[in-house]
Amino acid sequence: MILPFARLAPIADTPSENSRNQLELFVPCDQFLSELETDFEVLPLGRQVVLHAARFRDPFPKDPVDRLIAGTALANDLTLITGDEKILRVNLCKLLW
């Protein structure tokens, strides 16, 4: 399964209104990634992921991160966990919510 965003306090916190939807890290990036990799498998952003992401058409969300996440699910035959109504309506990959 792909869980696109998980709250990883105290390492990271959810975006604030002023942060432009960016993840705010409370430790150096390399430490954050090391801690993340102890609990999750971090998948590479390979050719198949990008090809899937580039093929999505309307009404799939235009956000490139949403496209890469869904492309990762397709390329790796994984289930995407999301509450995003736009992604759920399109139903291009295996979904769970």
Q: What is the mean pLDDT of each run of 10 residues along the chain (97 residues)?
A: 45 47 77 88 92 94 92 94 90 87
User: What is the pLDDT at residue 6?
Assistant: 41
Q: Output the six-digit token pair for 94.
A: 């295996």
Backbone region of residue 20 per phi and psi (left: phi > 0; alpha: psi in -120 to 50; beta: other values): left
Name the one residue in this structure whose structure tokens are 């235009």: 62
Question: Is 52 a member of any domain?
Answer: yes
Give residue 32's Cα distance to chain centre: 16
User: What is the pLDDT at residue 2?
Assistant: 54
In whole angstroms, what is the distance from residue 74 CA to residue 80 CA? 9
User: What is the pLDDT at residue 28?
Assistant: 87
User: What is the pLDDT at residue 25?
Assistant: 78
User: What is the pLDDT at residue 20?
Assistant: 55
Question: Is 63 a member of any domain?
Answer: yes
- Domain coverage including residue 66: 47-96
Domain count across the chain: 1
